[in-house]
Amino acid sequence: MFFDILTLFPSMFTGAFSDSIIKRALERKLISIDIHDIRDYSDDLKHKTVDDYPYGGNAGMLIRPQPLAGAIKDAKERLKEFKPLVIYLSPQGELLNQQLVKSLLDEKALILLCGRYKGIDQRVCDKYVDREISIGDYVLSGGEIPAMVMVDAITRLIPGVLGNRDSAENDSHFNGLLSCPQYTRPEVFEQMSVPEVLVSGHHAKILQWQKEQSIEMTRKRRPDLWEKYKEIHEV
C-alpha cells in the first residue's frame, strides 16, 4: 500500500512512523509512506503563504485552493499507475471504523490530505477529493493525527505486517466484538488471580471462555456493536 500524505507540518510524522510495527512494515516494503509539504506548492514564491480569509467574514483562516490542488495533482501523477484514492481527513467526513479500515485494504494507494486552520476551500473537496473521513466526533487542530491513525489502522491489517504473535484476529472490532480480558504473569497479582480456566491448559474451554467474555464485554460496553453483531450473525 502506498500512502502519500499532504500536510503543512511534515515533521509531525517523523516520530509516529519511525518505531515498532510501522517501522517494520516500511523496512519490509509492505507499505511506503511519502510526506509532502503543501507549502512547496504555493504560487507565492516569496512568502509561501498557503492561507487566506474566508468569504462571509467568519473567524479564522482557510487553506487556499491553489497549493492544495497543486499538491493533489502532483500526488495523483506520482501514483497514477495505482489509481490512488484521495481522502480528506475532516470532522465532517464519514466516521472511521474497522469495517471502513478493512474496505480500504482494497486500494493500492491513498493520498491523505491533512487540513489545518478552519479547514480547506470547499471547491477542492468538490473537484479533487474522493472521500472525507473523520476519526471521531470531535475537532482536532489538524488532519495530521487522523492521517497517522489511518496509516496505523490500515497497516496492521496488511498481510505479513503482524506476525502470529500480535495477530489482529483477537483484537477488538476484528469480528465485530470487543476483545476479551487479557492476563499475563504473575498468576496472582495483589491477591487477584488469573481466571482458573486460563491456566487449565484446556484449549477448547479457554476458547469458549474467551468468546463468552468477549460477548459479555461487548453487550455491556457497546450495546450498539452487539446489536449489529446479532443482526449479522443471527444470534
Residues in contact with ligand SAM by CB under 6 A are: 89-92, 114-116, 118-120, 134-136, 138-143, 146
Rounded to an integer, what distance in angstroms lies between the CA atom of residue 57 and that of residue 60?
Answer: 9
Nearer residue to ligand SAM within complex by CB, 113 or 161 = 113
Residue 152 or 216: the one with the smaller Cβ distance to ligand SAM is 152
Instruction: Spell out the residues 6+ positions from residue 151 whose beta carbon is closer than 8 angstroms to its own.
Output: 3, 5, 17, 22, 31, 33, 112
Nearest approach, Cβ of residue 21 and ligand SAM (Å): 22
Query: Is there a contact between 139 and 146 (Cβ–Cβ < 8 Å)?
Result: no
Shortest distance, position 214 Cβ to ligand SAM, whole Å = 28
- In whole angstroms, how close is the CB of 10 to ligand SAM at the nearest point? 15
* Nearest residue to ligand SAM on Cβ basis: 115
Q: CA 177 to CA 226: how far, in whole Å?
A: 7
Is the Cβ of residue 21 or residue 145 nearer to ligand SAM in the bound state? 145
Q: How far is the CB of 102 from ligand SAM (least distance, A)?
A: 19
* Closest CB 113 distance from ligand SAM, rounded Å: 7
89/162 with CB nearer ligand SAM: 89
- One-letter amino acid at 160 equals G
State which residue, 20 or 122, has the beta carbon closest to ligand SAM.
122
Helix/strand/coil percent split, the chain, to 5: 45, 20, 40
- Least separation in angstroms between residue 235's CB and ligand SAM is 32
| Cα–Cα distance for residue pair 77/89, rounded to 1 Å | 21
Grid-cell match 481522502, residue found: 87
Strands (DSSP E) contained in the chain are: 2-7, 32-37, 51-52, 62-63, 85-95, 109-114, 131-134, 188-189, 192-193
- The residue among 134 and 214 lying less far from ligand SAM, judged by its C-beta, is 134
